[in-house]
Amino acid sequence: MKHQFLLFVSSFSLVLCDLASYLRERENFLENENSRFLGSNLELTSSESLVNDYLMNLKYAELDYGFATADFMQSQNFLISKPKYDSSQVFQFIKQMPKGGAIHVHDTAITNLDFLVANVTYRDNLFMCLVDNKINFRFAATKPDDTADCIWSSVSESRQNSGNVEEFDEAIYRNLTLVVPDPFSEYPNINAVWSSFQKYFVTSGGLICYEPVFRDYFYKGLEEFYEDNVQYMEIRTTLPTIYRLDGSVLSDFQAMLTYEEVFAKFKADHPDFSGAKIIYAPSRKVTEETVYDYISLATVLKRSFPDLMAGFDLVGQEDLGVPLIEFLEPILSGQTESDLKYFFHAGETQWNGMSTDLNIIDALLLNATRIGHGYAIAKHPLAIELAKNRNVPIEVCPLSNQVLMLVSDLRNHPATILMADNFPVIISSDDPPVWNASALSYDYYAAFMAMTSRNTDIRFLKQISYNSLFYSTLDGDSKAEAISLFEQKWDIFIQSFLKRILPSFVSYN
Ligand SMILES: [Zn+2]
């Protein structure tokens, strides 16, 4: 009997001992894992920790609600879940937070659609016609000549004659936006959604590319990002043809001068803005010969505008475009002859082992400075290693990837896995107004809620903001100044937020 009792005690303590060591091991494991997450190297001040506690309570509440109800907005298409984003307190927090730079956006999709509809389409000398049920616009001194498939009419007269101005404007809006009541039936596959997406650029192009509008559109776009607490931008452009009322057009050189003037004016009006740069990014659906032309133009522009021109990229739907492997010679010549920097959109695809998936390998081997999207990189462990070793970041645009149908539930975005292991990631917004987002906060919020762990905190948000400046093409001094400006803005934000949530708070950092 005594013997049996001893056995019981010893086996019980053995279990206890095992349980304790198991839990310790588990805790160590999770701690180690957390220490590898993007941003986990940052140390928080006591003020930041207080703000972080506040933010994390909001994050926990939203996630726990989603876990309990399976109603999680980032798992739903942004085209229908956007109102939920707007009502989120975490989103409101992120909106107020300094976010560094937006370094993956496209020039003709940076400004709210309301500006185009309510402002630009009300300007004089605007004409419209319907081609394949899509509106084309054109500013002209007199009505342009009709063609078989395009019968022009004055927008102001058509609006007046429509009998319902609101409905008329709504129809224009519908021609520009991807937002529809039922995206699943409207866009049955990736080609369908891309086809509508590309129509946006046709319809908006006639409005935006009129020289006076072009200047206003850019200025307004910079303002929207600035008001969203973005301090720096790198903007891809196809260098679209900018036209005047008399039908004359600007040369590429004049177009670059226009960007330069708008950026300079904006910076003069907003001294705490670190500036903006241009990445020349024409269509990838072209011949090798055309890419030679692109590269020589990029080289000339880089020489003429060394501070403004950041580098070169190719854009358009990758799966229907031409892969980088077809353009090796012109791309290599650009690098050897003029030290052109590359920012290729690469691996914006769901396919594995196909030509577009392999763009990710070519982008890396071609020494890309950054990779646009890089969605496919998670399937290539050697590419991940190479990118990490060379410190080549990917520019992840969560909402773009969801709306353009690479991933329906953002929790399944492959960058989630990369960020869990401190892979260099930048979060940006691609073409936000087309899906009724704006500036940068929606994408930061989506990444924070759906693409990080429940316990990932404000350090992640601070790190992606740092990354957007650290991996920018700002040169040494300007980069240091931009980072120092970001830190000042961040401190002001933390202190003013603390005063709001803890009115009796006195700074002690
Ligand atoms: Zn893009």
Span 76-96, pLDDT tens digits: 999 999 999 999 999 999 999
- Running DSSP on this structure, what letter comes out for residue 133? T
User: Which residues face 147 on adjacent strands?
Assistant: 150
pLDDT, residue 14, reads 54
Cβ count within 10 A of residue 272: 10
Q: Is residue 59 within 8 Å of residue 449, measured between CB atoms?
A: yes
Question: Is residue 348 flagged as an active site residue?
Answer: yes
Helix, strand, coil content of the chain in percent (nearest 5)? 55, 10, 30
Note the pLDDT of residue 6: 46
**How far apart are the CA of 275 and the centre of ligand 1, in A?**
20
AA identity, residue 448? F
Reported as a pLDDT band with limits 50, 70 and 90, residue 464 is very high
Element (H, E) at 386: helix 381-390
For residue 301 the two structure tokens come to 């522009």
More confident residue, 417 or 500: 417
Q: How far is the CA of 235 from the centre of ligand 1 (A)?
A: 10
Q: What is the phi/psi pair of residue 273, to 5°?
A: -105, 130
In 340-475, alpha helices (H): 355-365, 381-390, 398-403, 415-419, 441-450, 458-470
373-393 residue pLDDT tens = 999 999 999 999 999 999 999
Query: Residue 428 C-alpha to ligand 1 middle, in angstroms?
Result: 9
| CA 392 to ligand 1 centroid distance, Å | 17
| 190-226 tens-digit pLDDT | 999 999 999 999 999 999 999 999 999 999 999 999 9
Residue 374 to residues 27, 317, 416, Cα–Cα distance (Å): 33, 14, 13
- Return d(Cα 74, Cα 402) in angstroms, integer: 9
Per-residue pLDDT at 258 exceeds 70: yes
Mean pLDDT within 431-442: 98
Q: Rounded distance, CA 333 to CA 223, Å?
A: 37
Are the C-beta atoms of residues 154 and 126 closer than 8 Å to each other? yes
**According to the model, what pLDDT value does residue 7 have?**
45
Rounded distance from Cα 182 to ligand 1 centre (Å): 24
The C-alpha atoms of residue 475 and residue 469 are separated, in whole angstroms, by 10
Question: Residue 507: which pLDDT band, with cuts at 50, 70 and 90?
Answer: low
Give all domains of the chain, ordered by start, each with its CATH number: 83-112+208-490 (3.20.20.140), 116-186 (no CATH)
Q: For residue 339, what pLDDT band results from cuts at 50, 70 and 90?
A: confident
Pick the catalytic residue from 62, 211, 348, 395.
348
Of these residues, 104, 106, 345, 373, which one is catalytic?
A: 373
Query: Going by C-beta distance under 8 Å and a sequence separation of 6 or more, which residues neighbour residue 498?
Result: 47, 50, 51, 505, 507
Give the percent of the chain with pLDDT over 90. Answer: 90
Phi, psi at residue 432, to the nearest 5°?
Answer: -55, -40
pLDDT band at 2 (very low <50, low <70, confident <90, very high): very low
CA distance 6 to 176: 79
Q: What pLDDT sits at residue 265?
A: 98
Cα separations (Å) of 356 from 341, 385, 415, 467? 21, 20, 18, 26
How far away, in angstroms, is 345 Cα from ligand 1 center? 7
List the shell of residues around ion ligand 1, using CB closer than 5 Å.
430
Using DSSP, state whether 280 is helix, strand or coil.
strand
Tokens of 107: 């020039």
Q: Report the chain's mean pLDDT, rounded to a whole number.
A: 94
The pTM of this model reads 0.94
| Element housing 91 (H / E) | helix 89-96
Give the distance from CA 287 to its chain's centroid.
28
Strand order in the sheet with 425-427: 345-346, 371-373, 394-396, 425-427
Structure tokens at 96: 């107020």
C-beta of residue 207 within 8 angstroms of C-beta of residue 155: no
Report the residue count for the chain: 509
Residue 236's DSSP bridge partners are: 106, 279
pLDDT at 38: 96
Q: Let me know if 373 is a catalytic residue.
A: yes
Residue 281 Cα, ligand 1 centroid: separation in angstroms?
Answer: 9
